[in-house]
Structures are given as C-alpha cells and as structure tokens.
Amino acid sequence: MTASLAIPAVVMLALDAITLDAELQPRASLDRATWEEYLCLLGDGVDLPPVSVFRDGERHWLADGYHRWHAHKALGAETIKAIVHTGSREEALRFSLGANAKHGRRRERGDYEKGYETAWRNGFVRPEAVEAVQAILQCSTRTAYDLTQRARDAIDAARDEEIAAKKAEGKSVRAISRETGLPRATVQDHVRNLQDAKPGRAAELPLEAPPQPPQMPGFAEYQEMTSERGERWWGALRALQQVTQQATPDDLLGDRYPGLAHVFDPALRDAHAWITELHRRYFDE
C-alpha cells in the first residue's frame, strides 16, 4: 500500500506564531517599494496570496512571503493566511531557494547570489555544479553558469597544477590520466600547452609566500572589519547610504506607517552599537 501524501492546509496563522529566519528569506534584502505596494493593497482591502510555512512540530518556518508578513505586521494585523506544509527547517530552506521563480518581484543578481551561497553552504549542491544550481534556484542555465564560474575556474586551476606537477615528475600522459581519473585527451591538451609555453627565468624561480602585513596597532581590528561579520555591516551601511540618497529621514520614518518601527528598531540599535564600538576603538583610544 502506498503512503498518501500530506496535502498542505491553508489556514489563518497568528503572525507571532511564525518563525522568521534570515537564511530562509530568499531575497538579499527586503525591497521597500514591494513592501509599500503590498501595504497599500492590504489597506485597500485586497486579499494577498497566502504565505508558505513549514511546520516541524514545534515551529512554523516562514519559507515564502516575507514582504507580505512585514506588510501585515506594519498594519497591525494579528493573523495572516498561510499554506502550511509539514516539513523541517531544511525542507523550508530548500523550498525558499526557488520560491520567487514564478511570482513576486523579479529576482536580481544579489538575490541569486544569496541563494547560491546558501545552497552550497548547506550542502545542497556542489559550488561548481551548474545543473544542480539551476534546479534548486529554478533559474536559467546562463544564471547558474555565471554563479558557478568562480568555483569552476578554481577546480580547473587545481587540475592544471596537478597535471603540471605530475608531468614535472616525468610521468607519462597515460600514467597521469590513470592517477587523476581525467580523460587522456584532457591531459594531453594540457601537456601540449606546457610544451608550447616559453619558460623564462621567472618561471624557474621558486614561488615565495606573499609578505604578511605587519602586526601594527589596529591590525586585529582591521581583520575584524574585513571578516564576514564586518563585511555584512559594511553592506548594511552602504545600503543605508543609498536609502538616504533617495529620501530624507523625515520622509522615511515619518508618521505614514508607524508600524515600520518593528522593522527598523532592532537593526538601528545593532548598527548604533557597532558604530559606537568603531568610534571607541579608533577615536577614543
């Protein structure tokens, strides 16, 4: 007897019963124009499509519909229509990666890049696998090809170095092909390129490791600023700069949508703490 598949239920869920997770947000960032459009539609009484959540027994993970959730929250709504799937956070994450392929605002480069990084970081795809990336992101072949270009170049470079090293040991094309698992034609083409190259004195010199930056005062802080966490903050500051170029703080944070505070307040508090710490380190000391 075959097991019956669970049919997702459409229910009204309390907003506060839904768990939001930055990694499950398929966009690189929330788009203000889209958020405002949904806010106006809701204000006019338009019934927006339900969001998608995954229930794992303890939590309802929001996998699609972050702009709609925030629009409802800003209007003071207590509930939202949701399609409830039975599944884990991992299943919600897989779902979110292709959630905006056929609806919502058209995905931009940053959205694709975030989805790609999330997919390979969680082990869903190999970084160089074009077809797998295309399938999980539900994007075009060209987009998947572009996203995986750097990973494929790195693999090609490592392969070329391995072939060159084995050839320098005096091994034959057949032996290199057998040891690396590469086609003989691939090995032969690379060996031919090596033979056609004109070695100069610089090529004969051993490569030296690049000099390390001096451990001067402030170097540890510099490393922190260039870390993944630091880069995220710089990205947030650049985004804030772009926003302020479009409108004044009075326009952005006026009384039009007082519900916006729940979106901005936590981020602004974190940004203030970060900027205060930078000022303390570089100006107060």
**What does the pLDDT look like over 119-170, one tens digit per residue?**
999 999 999 999 999 999 999 999 999 999 999 999 888 888 888 888 888 8
Over the range 179-189, which residues count as b (16 or more CB within 10 Å of their CB) and which as e? eeeeeeebbee
Classify residue 36 by burial, with Cβ atoms within 10 Å: 0-12, 13-18, 19+.
middle
Question: Is the Cβ–Cβ distance between 18 and 60 less than 8 Å?
Answer: yes
The rounded distance, in Å, linking the Cα atoms of 35 and 24 is 18
Segment holding 212, helix H or strand E: none
pLDDT the model gives residue 83: 95
Residue 237 banded pLDDT, cuts 50, 70, 90: low
Of 85, 83, 86, give the one whose Cα is nearest residue 10.
83
Q: In angstroms, how far is CA 104 from the centroid of its own chain? A: 18
**Domain residue extents for the chain:** 7-106, 107-147, 152-196, 220-245+255-284
pLDDT surpassing 50 at residue 216:
no
Q: What is the DSSP letter of 283?
A: I
The rounded distance, in Å, linking the Cα atoms of 231 and 238 is 10
pLDDT the model gives residue 14: 95
Angle between helices 109-121 and 130-137 (to 10 degrees): 110
Question: Is the Cβ–Cβ distance between 194 and 167 less than 8 Å?
Answer: yes
pLDDT surpassing 60 at residue 176:
yes
Does the structural domain 7-106 have CATH classification 3.90.1530.10? Answer: yes
